Structure 1
């Protein structure tokens, strides 16, 4: 009788444990969040689906439910000011704020995402030291030091890029990888985004975030290397208008910049050297400003001796149709074009740009 009771107890415990782990439980405590409703939502191709709603009180909250497959869910406050991604699986997931930093623990997917974040943070920490040194060199107006630091920073950035690509390749079938690639859509140009997308396996590409990346790539392909650069017309600093395709040149550099950006202003020094060296051989520069203040734009052109062609719609980075047309992520940003306005290079380093221009002009 005792053996039968013991066997029943074991079976009961196994069944109860299995039942308890069938679903997910998201519990958290984030001090500082205002009391109110908190949502757990799931973005899908059919729209955003609400998985749960709870009352946030004193920064504490709990969600319970069940998902058929692992996915990326979002914790969102009612005002939309706070959005926290959670790698949702049928397990216990804990969200905490520890010394001002968010900590999320959970299942295998969350651990995978956390490992990726650690990699990115490590890469960013290494680059931060170079940025501090570069700013110091700028204040000292030490051009040679700036060049040296920039080369070191570019090398470190490439090493970091290769580490990131290796990570995505290793975990390319996982839905976490598709979310990671989608999270940098607004930061990468077509080539870099495609390089990451191509490393995803079919299961990851089939997810909502995989499809999101594919859609972005189809839109950005218009300004990919090898494509004819889209034409546009903007106001010239002299007062009339100018179009990209109307500019004649054996080699053209489309240059996006802003007068209030210190890196752009320093980069103008290098562009002036290129212009002076190659303009007589058929090289032309077309600088498109992201300024809103016309006076500041014109003043910077004069101060930096930018003797080439200029244009602007004076709508700023967020309002400019040209910025949207070219999917400009950061400035300075450059597109190297041939005589037929075909894009042959994008955001090349100063040394690579100089070499490519020389090679292209020699072919003419």
Structure 2
């Protein structure tokens, strides 16, 4: 599921689980058979789709009585969505090889039952456990949106409350994920959880710890291989490594080179205008920049936007006055690839010689680290 970061908006976890951002190694193809009945359907089109890493593979049929059967090749166990209208209710199914039976009602499709997929059963257990984390994140997200829309005079305090709710949601989700992986070391859902939530720069240690909890079969699964590949790649930009050099166009189209900032402490900050958690964190980064900008400290914002107007608009709206670069390639951003960035927000703090000395600094952690270094 092509990927978050847990720089998480946990509200995006369901979506990110359906559209992971990593591309694991291939597994031997198997066959799937998803059949069943949707009560209330008469002469209507039924769809089934899954994300393939670049877009959606969609199959459909016209059912006269609500009955359906979908068959196909299964490259690896994955989430498929069953729906009547792409903009309305749908039933997400964790599909594995073999026969899977679905029973559902047209007016409550997402509440349908699924039999024949042990992975779906495990996934539902995990999803149920995550309800509390989703609730916290939803509350924080709604509060943040309310502040943005109403321009409340107490917005600073309310933004902090929203941020604290997100942090609480992350901590709770982390504990739930660890509990599931510890108690289900052989389930493919366990490496899937790591793949979906922890495969991002800054979470390498957790990903590694959780990967080591898996049994050999889970490690050898499609998602287990994906986690291992991520860990190997992320090790190249670990703390203590020299930061990869890059050159990229700034907002005016002129080339900026990271090496030009040698001799300064530099925060390489990966973000995007469409990233809710990034925009929520920006006021904190602005505060840090204003405090240390005249003390041999600089920020380089690397945007994963693909539309220049949206990028520039966000820079102005959030009052981000530091250096900004982007190649407008979205997730294919060349610098993001070099730094193994699979989710945003994400940042890397470099010392005066360009060595990575910290990663994923957020909230008070950013201020604390800068205070230690810059006097």
User: Paired residue for 2:130?
Assistant: 120
- Seen in structure 2, the aligned counterparts of structure 1 residues 257 and 57 have a Cα distance that, compared at 3 Å, is same
Give matches, 1:95-106, under 5 Å.
95-98=102-105, 99-101=108-110, 102-106=112-116
1:301-332 Cα deviation digits (max 9, x unpaired): 4565433222222x242442223333434444
- Indicate whether 1:181 and 2:194 are aligned: yes
User: Displacement, 1:189?
Assistant: 5.5
CA distance in 2, matches of 1:292, 1:109: 36
Give matches, 1:1-364, under 5 Å.
27-30=35-38, 34=45, 57-58=63-64, 60-61=67-68, 72=77, 84-87=93-96, 93-98=100-105, 99-101=108-110, 102-106=112-116, 109-138=119-148, 139-140=151-152, 142-184=155-197, 190-191=203-204, 192-259=206-273, 264-265=278-279, 267-294=281-308, 297-298=311-312, 301=315, 304-313=318-327, 315-361=328-374
User: Displacement, 1:109?
Assistant: 4.9
User: Displacement, 1:283?
Assistant: 1.6
CA distance in 1, matches of 2:136, 2:293: 38
Query: Contact conserved, 2:289 with 2:298, CA < 8 A, in 1?
Result: yes
Unmatched 5+ residue regions in structure 2? 1-31, 53-58
Report the 3-state secondary structure (helix = DSSP H, G, I; strand = E; otherwise coil) of the residue aligned with 1:310.
Answer: strand
| Count of residues in correspondence between the two structures | 315
Q: What CA RMSD, in Å, does the superposition of the two structures yield over aligned residues?
A: 3.9
Larger relative CO (CA 8 A, sep 6+): 1 or 2?
A: 2
Unmatched 5+ residue regions in structure 1? 1-23, 44-52, 65-70
User: Displacement, 1:155?
Assistant: 2.0
User: Displacement, 1:190?
Assistant: 4.9
Question: What TM-score, normalized by structure 2, do the two folds share?
Answer: 0.69
User: Displacement, 1:211?
Assistant: 1.7
1:42-71 Cα deviation digits (max 9, x unpaired): x9xxxxxxxxx998855534589xxxxxx9
- Seen in structure 2, the aligned counterparts of structure 1 residues 61 and 129 have a Cα distance that, compared at 3 Å, is same
User: Paired residue for 1:15?
Assistant: none
Question: What TM-score, normalized by structure 1, do the two folds share?
Answer: 0.70
User: Displacement, 1:235?
Assistant: 1.2
- Greater shift, 259-268 or 161-170, is seen at 259-268
Give the greater-gyration-radius structure (CA): 1
CA distance in 2, matches of 1:178, 1:316: 29
Query: Contact conserved, 1:137 with 1:143, CA < 8 A, in 2?
Result: no
1:63-86 Cα deviation digits (max 9, x unpaired): 89xxxxxx9477699xxx998423
Query: Contact conserved, 2:237 with 2:356, CA < 8 A, in 1?
Result: yes
Report the 3-state secondary structure (helix = DSSP H, G, I; strand = E; otherwise coil) of the residue aligned with 1:85.
Answer: strand
